[in-house]
Each structure stands twice: as structure tokens, then as C-alpha cells.
Structure 1
Amino acid sequence: MTLVLDKLLPGQRIGASAWYDLASSVLGEADLTNFGKEPTLFRHNDPDNKSTMILHADDGLLAANKKEREEILKVFAKKFTVQVGDPMAAEGDKFSFLKRVYLRVPEGIVMYSNGRYLEALLEALGPNVKRRDSAADASFQEPDDSPQLEPSKAATFRECVGRLLYLSHSRPDIQFAVCVLSSKMAKPTSTSFRWLLRVVGYLAGAPDLGFLIKPVVTDAKFGYEGACYDATGDLKNYIVESITDADWAGCRRRSR
């Protein structure tokens, strides 16, 4: 006799892909299809229906009006238990998604990091953290010949840098410093631990800086094929620039 467990147990690698296939099929029943270059982004097949969704595992972020939202949720509710938060409809409204907080302001939407990550960093590093006015200084680009950390302290370093890597997605002001710290993960040193204390000290002094998300121009909307349209509906081309404080060309440790 052969017994088959018709259930995916936690930790199975196939679980994520199997869930995505199932969720995609349900979204298909709601007449939503995903974007080939970004499979987790879905839009409605009806051009007059502006519903769009970002799907991350079993968390989704839906943009739709009330009627469109109810139609999509009705399809989901046939197979799943669905929990829905309050919509962001007016200035001052906010919601949480993937452990980040999004707040609507007159200029657009501000994204804030989850404060628990900073709390965990401060708890792990204890009273050694002193507040700083910047995330990095000139020493971050200097050669590091200091001794390696003992194993327990090295483990603390790696744990803290892991949290900083997550925070850096919504905190461009620490990205260069975190890049330097992550390069020391294999062999953390006493100097790199001092750098870690500086970055966390800076975050302790500026914990609530947000990242403003806004359109290039008022009422701008982006076509699904990568085209970009201005407020009048005319096709336009925009140059997308990404700005960070990383300065690898000026790094004295890696200059070639």
C-alpha cells in the first residue's frame, strides 16, 4: 500500500513555486494576468479595468476601486480565507506591507522601515552604540588590517549586518556603509565591528526617515510594455536614474 501526503510541509522548496502557480491560476479566474518580465505583477485583461496587484507569497498589494476590489476578492474567497486591510484612499491613510509602513502624503507615498529591526540591532549591540550624525566616515574607504573577531562576536556581526541589508532597501542613506559591512561578512574584523556600531548609532539618531515615492510628472502613468506616457496621454521617454552614496571608484581598499 502506498500512502501519499497531499499537503506541502513547511520548509519544502517546491512550496513557494506550487503556491505561486495556485495563486496565479486563481488570479487568472479573476481575469488578471502577470507581466512576463516581472511575474509577481498582475493587471486586469480588460483595458477599462485598472486593477493591478503585486503578489509576494501569500501577501498581496491590490490597487483598484471599490467595485473592482470586491470582484477580485469574491474570486479569492471561493478558495482561501482572505484578510483585507483598510484601503489607502486619502492623505494620511497608511497600511503595512512586507513589514514596511506606507503613508500617503500630498507629494506621493512615503515608505518607512519597520522599527523592530532597529530595536533588535540596539538590543544585540547593547550599550556600546553611540549616536552618530552620519552612517559612514572616511575610514570606511581605508585598508582594514585589524584582527578578526572571535566566533561569538563574529556571529553577532553577521546577524546585525543581515538586518541592515534588509533595512537598506528603504534607507538609501545607509547603503554605502552597509555595502562595506557586507563585504566583511566572511571575515569580520574589529574595525568592521566599529563601523557596524557607527551605522547603528546613526540609525538610532535618525530612526524615522522615510522614502518618498512619487510620479515623474503629475498624473503620470506607465504603460505595461515599458512605455511611459505623460499627463496628456502622449508617449514619452524618460531616463531612469538611480542615486546612491556608494563610491567604489574612490575606495582606497579596492582601487585598481
Structure 2
Amino acid sequence: MRFSIAVHFDWEIFQLDINNVFLYGELNEEVYMCLPDGYDQSNGTKVCRLKKSLYGLKQAPRMWNEKLVSVLLNRGFEQSKCDHSMFTMTKDSSFIILLVYVDDIIITGSFSKQVNEIKLLLKSKFSIKDLGNLQYFLGLEVVKNTAGLCLTQIKYCLDLLVEFGMTSCKPVSYPMEPNHVLNHLCEKDNQPLTNITVFQKLVGKLIYLSHTRPDIAYYVHYLSQFMHSPTQAHFKIAIRLLRYLKGAPGKGILFEKGDSLGMKAFSDSDWAKCLGTRRSITGFCIFLGNNLVSWKSKKQSTVSRSSAEVEYRSMCAATCDVMWISNLLKELKVHVNLPIQLYCDNTAAISIAANPVFHERTKHFEIDLYFLREKISKGIIQTM
């Protein structure tokens, strides 16, 4: 039976325990519940026990996930150790992959018969709606053509331009001026932004858009550093980024068909780029065959004392992502050829990674030093 709960409480005397789905506490004049008809309320010290999670509680999503996971595991699925939202099942000669995001599910497999069986299983346990072949998922549009599979967010991008009134703006060919340094701007541009909510909302939407737009990853990373104290200059950069998107809102990522599944990674860095903290920027991209599958642009957590050190840390960050993708591909029954090539343009960093001799000037990043050397010695990574 469904019923609503309205509660006014003091946290010291009233608690919610989701483990056993109990609602308990001392009822008083400020705590009350709207209960169904027929419930005896003559004794004011009684409490109500919830037999199932109520929609709207913050614990409800976890309860739903536990229910879905239990159904899939009982059916024979295995939950991925690399990505807990992915489930795989091998049965005879068929292989099925199921990807979950809250209550949105993508199913694919080697045979349509087994996929239909999983659909019937989910339909018997939950109220579901079959949307057919994958075309639109969480703001991402999936377009199939003869070349392969294309992921784009054209509708999301156009809605973003409409929301911020940039549909009639003049496009620009690049998102930010080269070697842009805020310290050299005029005093007027360095004034704090009065309405930071608009800036935060815009940057948040750009972060999601960067899932299919690696060309704006660096600029979004740059703007996201000033979410709590943006200036007029930061807002101008964000608007210019919208003008750049206006030029080609339909850009995305193309996954081409091919027999080659060799993995390779490219890493680079910008030494002491941030003038405020003198921290460096890590950047890397990873290709599976000829397809870009992962990329990152992020400020490093420590200050590097040399360009070799910052390049080395970038190589380690790329190696971590390579290891995660390799393990994920193994769960998908995809063979990964070793060693995986890691490209870097700093000869000093490559020499440090290849030379097992301990150097005095490298002891302050010893953990990263041994991590990358271990992967090289095991034949997993090969520096280029």
C-alpha cells in the first residue's frame, strides 16, 4: 500500500535506518505521519515499519540497484570489476553485455535470441519499455552508417546554445586565444562575476558535452577551476566556447569498423602552466585501433620541479588509464596485444622510465617511478 510521509523532526531523537528499512524514533508534536485509514493511532508511542523502500527517499536508488543486481546475478550475469554498471554473461557460444545507468539499460549480444530472453526476464520482474535499436541514450545520439558508429550530442549542444541565447552568434574557429594568461588582462575583466550561478550552470553543461567533444576538454578543464570565484574574463571565455560550438554543433566521435584492435597511448604535459600554483597540466589520449576511446586534460596534484618530472607523471596517468581499459577489454573477451605503445616527446622522461638505476633527482616521485617501471618490465607498456 502506498502512502505519503510528512515529517518534522529533531535529528537527535529521530533517525532513519535503511538497512532494515525501519523508521523509528520518539513521536512528539513536531513529528507526524500521514498513515492509511484503519491504523490505530490511540497509542502515541507507536512507530511505523516500512516493508519496502518509498519512492522519493534518498535511499530508494540504492534499493532499486540492489534489486536489479540480484535479478541479473541470479540469471547468470557477472558484474564487472572495472565498471560496476556493466554485466556480462557467457552462455554456450553467445556473449551478452548489459549496461545500466539508474533505470536506463542497454543490451547487446552475439545473438538476438538470447537478447530477447533477457528482455523477457526483465519484463517479468519489472515494468519496462522496449525502445528498440539504440539511437538516443542520456543525451548521446548514436548514428550508424557504413563507416561505423558515431556518437554525437547535437541536440544537447543546440539546446545549450538556445538556453544561453547564442543561436544567432557569430562562430569562431578556435575556442580560446593561444597562450591565454588571465594575469595579463585588464583590471575590468578581472572583476568578480556577480551571478556565478549562470557560470556554474554553463560549465556543468559543458563538462557533460565534453564526453563526445575531446576538442573542448582542455578549455572545460580550465573553466572548471573557477566554479566558486569566476571573473568577467572567465565568463567571456565560456561564451567564446559557445561561439566555437556554434560553428559545428554536430561534431562527435566516430568508431570505425576494422580488424585492428591494437592499443596505443599518447601523453604530453605543459610544465608550470598555472601561474597561481605553478602546477602543470597533464594530457593524454588513448586509441583502440584507429578509434579514440579515452582522453583527459587535468591539472596535476603536485608541483613538478622539472619538465622531465611532469612528463613522467603524465605517462603514469596514461598508464593507469591503459591498465583500466585493458582489464575492461578482457572482461569483454577482447584480446589485447602486449606491449601497449606509450608515446612521449620527452627523451629524459623515457630514459628515466627505461633505466632501472635509481637517480638522486628522481627520489621525490619514487612511487610513480616504480609504477611505470614495473609495467615496462612486465611487458605491458613500451615507451616510444
Q: Deviations for 1:63-105, whole angstroms, at most 9, x for unmatched residues?
A: 1222011110111111111111222xxxxxx511112111112
2: distance between equivalents of 1:50 and 1:127?
Answer: 45
The alpha-carbon distance between structure 1 residues 123 and 236, as it changes in their structure 2 partners (threshold 3 A), is closer
| Uncovered stretches (5+) of structure 2, i.e. residues with no partner | 1-45, 263-287, 289-327, 344-384
1: distance between equivalents of 2:71 and 2:105?
Answer: 13
* Percent of residue pairs identical: 22
Query: Which of 116, 120, 128 is equivalent to 1:82?
Result: 128
2:202 aligned residue: 160
TM-score for the superposition, normalised by structure 1? 0.78
Q: Deviations for 1:6-49, whole angstroms, at most 9, x for unmatched residues?
A: 2333250x223222211111112332111122111111142522
Q: Does residue 1:197 correspond to 2:239, yes or no?
A: yes
SS at match of 1:67: helix
1:137 aligned residue: 177
2: distance between equivalents of 1:30 and 1:155?
Answer: 46
Q: CA deviation at 1:54?
A: 0.9
1:61 aligned residue: 106
User: In 2, are the aligned partners of 1:133 and 1:202 still within 8 Å (CA)?
Assistant: yes
1:224 aligned residue: 330
SS at match of 1:78: helix
1: distance between equivalents of 2:77 and 2:106?
Answer: 14
The code of the aligned residue for 1:124 comes to F
1:249 aligned residue: none
Q: What pairs with 1:19-168 in structure 2 (closer than 5 Å)?
A: 19-46=64-91, 48-64=93-109, 65-87=111-133, 95-125=135-165, 129-138=169-178, 140-143=180-183, 146-150=190-194, 152=195, 154-168=196-210
Structure with higher Rg: it is 2
TM-score for the superposition, normalised by structure 2? 0.53
User: In 1, are the aligned partners of 2:150 and 2:252 still within 8 Å (CA)?
Assistant: yes
Q: CA deviation at 1:226?
A: 7.9
| Structure number with higher relative contact order (C-alpha < 8 Å, ≥ 6 residues apart) | 1
User: In 1, are the aligned partners of 2:173 and 2:244 still within 8 Å (CA)?
Assistant: yes
Q: Does residue 1:175 correspond to 2:221, yes or no?
A: no
Deviates more, 1:188-197 or 1:210-219: 210-219
Q: CA deviation at 1:215?
A: 6.2
2: distance between equivalents of 1:67 and 1:15?
Answer: 33
SS at match of 2:79: strand
The alpha-carbon distance between structure 1 residues 195 and 210, as it changes in their structure 2 partners (threshold 3 A), is same
SS at match of 1:26: helix
| Uncovered stretches (5+) of structure 1, i.e. residues with no partner | 88-93, 230-234, 243-256
Q: How many residues align?
A: 228
SS at match of 1:70: helix
* Aligned-CA RMSD value: 2.9
Q: CA deviation at 1:237?
A: 2.3
2: distance between equivalents of 1:11 and 1:241?
Answer: 47
1: distance between equivalents of 2:339 and 2:100?
Answer: 27
Q: CA deviation at 1:124?
A: 2.4
SS at match of 1:3: coil
2: distance between equivalents of 1:240 and 1:26?
Answer: 40
